[in-house]
Amino acid sequence: MKRRWRDFPVAVGMLLPSAVILGVFVIYPLVRAVQLGHLRCDATGTRCREGGWVQYVDVFRSNEFQHALFNTTRLAIMTVPIGLALGIGLAVLADKQIRGVGFFRTVFSSTVATSVAVASLVWFVLLQPQVGLLPDLFHGLIPTLKQPGLLNDPTTALPALAVSSIWASLGFTFIVMTAALQGIPRELYESAFVDGAGGWMRFTNVTLPMLGPTIVFTTVVLTTRAYQAYAEVALLTQGGPNPERPTESMAYLIYGQTSLIKNDIGLKSTAAVLLFFVLLVLALVQFRGLDRRVHYGN
Amino acid sequence: MATRSDAPGTGATESLHGARKVGRYALLIFVGFLVLFPIYATLMQALKSGPDAIDHPKSLLPINLTLDTLRSAWTIGDLGRLMLNSIFVSVAVTLGVIITSLLAAYAFAFLDFPGKGAVFAFFLATLLVPAELTVVVNQRTMDSLGWINSYQGLIVPLVATTFGMFLVRQVFLTVPKDLREAAALDGVGHLRFLGEVAVPLCRPTLGALALFTFLGTWNQYLWPQAITTDDAHRTIQIGLERLKIGDIDKLNLVTAGTVIASLPIFIMLIAFQRQLVRGLTAGAVKG
């Protein structure tokens, strides 16, 4: 008992810097946002009145929030499975020990160097209907590229944004999957081979199950990213095209330059807390649902 | 057949031969081309003069290359200033995260004190809270501190992460307790033990953490946008948008801007590939 208290002052000194930062800028904002989520404020954002807990229900059921939730969910459905499949595919492709494979690994990892903002601007220029390269090359095949442009057409805007998103995350997914592949003991492949398993059989019976934990991790990361989408919306579409606004994500609804609730700290808090809950529920569901099917080895 | 020279992998148990090898290379080159295409096209646009980029967007061959566009993007966008801001903020945050992570990890790994479990749970809880939630309130906090448009505002909220503490703690936990006890008997204090024994042990992890933190800070968007309104403190990620506002015939300035903004990161990644892989996979792969 004496010992435990002897270390106490040192421990306090060492934990204080982190605890203060995390307390003030992570935990306090969480608590405060839940409180502020009760408030309704006027257009200038200065005078607020109590709205009560029911405000959470109201905002959640509002058309705006439901619309943003729907858009964001569509974005996740478009980006997560494809991003995951491409990451695994590239990793398997570059997993052979052949000459020059290191070069290809660098190429496949290269998009980690591009931030979401940079990736979005790259695609913005590539897709620009008048001078962009892709419309110039392929407008014969896909007329929408020129008229009115993928990002300006309500049906193609979100898929186009998803492409930029998938590309931006590809490097990350590839690196994580490559590292996981290298952790698979090669005896497993050898015994599968001896048992007469062909390439595809080895992939589905050895590779995929052994990648399980990494797939769960990556799915959660990619889903969380999709549900947090902000920079790509701000730079590619501003939530547009209007009036359908098919690319307005939840984060953009809260923080966007064109956001209706920009000055209302109450409604902003309500929506932010709801976004947090959505993320929390998704992470729990994914961990529980996927965990059951995962083989953790050993 | 069963003898193979390739290293552990997904692998087919046989090495690739002949036609299959050619096929594999063809596939690698094709897919590599697709992945790199947006980067290559952007680079080519950025290396062309304005009129050339408009008249021949299709030309992907490196003809008539010039640094003019990069130069004018640099001047028009005031990219030097934005880059310096990004570098300063990212370096400061990285140093901060390293120091706070080392200290907190040390306390959790080597010290025994009342309330340890509760404090650890507090740290873990912060992992669940996304920036998209905290920005609402942190914006107000910055406002009341007078930290809108300031380096403190860009740096201070980011200098401690549970991820960093966790990563370092994992390494510290592998140090035998006896080692610390023997050092204590010899009169070696905690800070000296941290500096002379513990830090050297986790140097590779610190490298990964540093790179990871630098990248994350460099790439962030929402927070710097939320608390900067003037150009003096804007970071490169949000400052680039300024180049987008011009006419479409100046669009190649945007490509030049993205090239400039990514260049330092490309160089860093090529130099520190191993640390990057370690950092990205820290949470992903067990063991």
| Shortest distance, CA A243 to any CA of chain B (angstroms) | 22
pLDDT at residue number B10 = 45
Per-residue model confidence as pLDDT tens digits over A106-163 = 888 888 888 899 999 999 988 988 878 888 888 888 888 878 888 989 999 999 999 9
Q: What does the block give as tokens for A9?
A: 């002052």
Do residues A211 and A295 lie in contact, with contact meaning Cβ atoms separated by under 8 Å?
no
| Closest Cα in chain A to B258 | A118
Residue B62 lies in a domain: no
Q: Locate tokens 């080392």: which residue?
A: B102
Nearest CA in chain B to A115: B219
- Choose the weakest-confidence range: A18-22, A168-172, A251-255, B200-204: B200-204
pLDDT given for residue A298 in this prediction:
39
Residue B261 distance to chain A (closest CA, Å): 8
Task: Return the pLDDT at B6.
Answer: 41
Q: Taking Cα atoms as reference points, which of B213, B131, B201 lies closest to residue A254?
A: B131
Give a yes or no: residue B96 inside a domain. yes
CA-based nearest residue to B161, from B212, B198, B116, B207: B212
- Given pLDDT bands bounded at 50, 70 and 90, which one contains residue A25? very high
Q: Is the pTM of this model over 0.90?
A: no
pLDDT of residue B280: 64
Residue the block writes with tokens 């809880």: B125
Number of domains making up chain B: 1
Rounded to 10°, the helix B273-281/A157-182 angle is: 100
Domains of chain A plus CATH, in order, are 63-291 (1.10.3720.10)
Q: Is residue B271 assigned to a domain?
A: no
- Give the 3-state secondary structure percentages of chain A, helix then strand then coil, rounded to 5: 70, 0, 25
Q: How far apart are CA A16 and CA A14, in angstroms?
A: 6
| Residues 6+ away with beta carbon under 8 Å from B30 | none
Helix residue ranges, H only, chain B: 18-46, 50-55, 68-76, 79-110, 116-126, 131-145, 151-155, 162-172, 177-185, 190-193, 199-201, 203-219, 222-227, 236-239, 241-244, 251-271, 273-281
Residue A292 predicted with pLDDT over 80: no
Within chain A, strands assigned E span 39-41, 48-50
Q: Do B130 and A136 touch (CB under 8 A)?
A: no
Minimal Cβ distance to B285: which of A133, A183, A207: A183
Q: Which structural domain range is residue B199 located in?
A: 87-239
Contact of B158 with B217, CB cutoff 8 Å: yes
- In this prediction, residue B284 carries a pLDDT of 46
Partner-chain contact A114 B262, CB within 8 Å: yes
Question: Does residue B219 form part of some domain?
Answer: yes
Q: Is B123 on the interface with A (CB under 8 A)?
A: yes
Residues of A in contact with B116 (CB under 8 A): 11
Amino acid at site A135? P
Nearest to A212 by CA among A286, A133, A145: A286
Residue B272 lies in a domain: no
Position B281 in a domain? no
B286 band by pLDDT with thresholds 50, 70 and 90: very low
CA distance B207 to B214: 11
ipTM of this complex prediction, to 2 decimal places: 0.86
CATH number of the domain that B112 lies in?
1.10.3720.10
* A23, pLDDT greater than 90: yes
Residue B246 lies in a domain: no
CA–CA separation, B69 vs B44, rounded Å? 11
Choose the closest CB to A186 out of B8, B36, B114. Answer: B8
Strand, coil or helix: A39? strand
Residue B198 in domain: yes
**Three-point CA angle A229, A232, A235, nearest 5°:** 140
Mean pLDDT value of segment B3-17: 46
Asked if omega into A17 is within 30° of 0 (cis), the reply is no
Give the model confidence (pLDDT) of B54-107 as tens digits.
666 566 776 777 888 888 888 888 888 999 999 999 999 999 999 999 999 999
Residue B36, min C-alpha distance to chain A (Å): 7
The whole-angstrom separation of Cα A65 and Cα A57 is 11
The Cα A8–Cα B110 span in angstroms is 12
Cα Rg for chain A, rounded, in angstroms? 24
Number of CB atoms found within 10 A of residue B74's CB: 18
Q: How far is B251 from chain A (nearest CA, A)?
A: 7
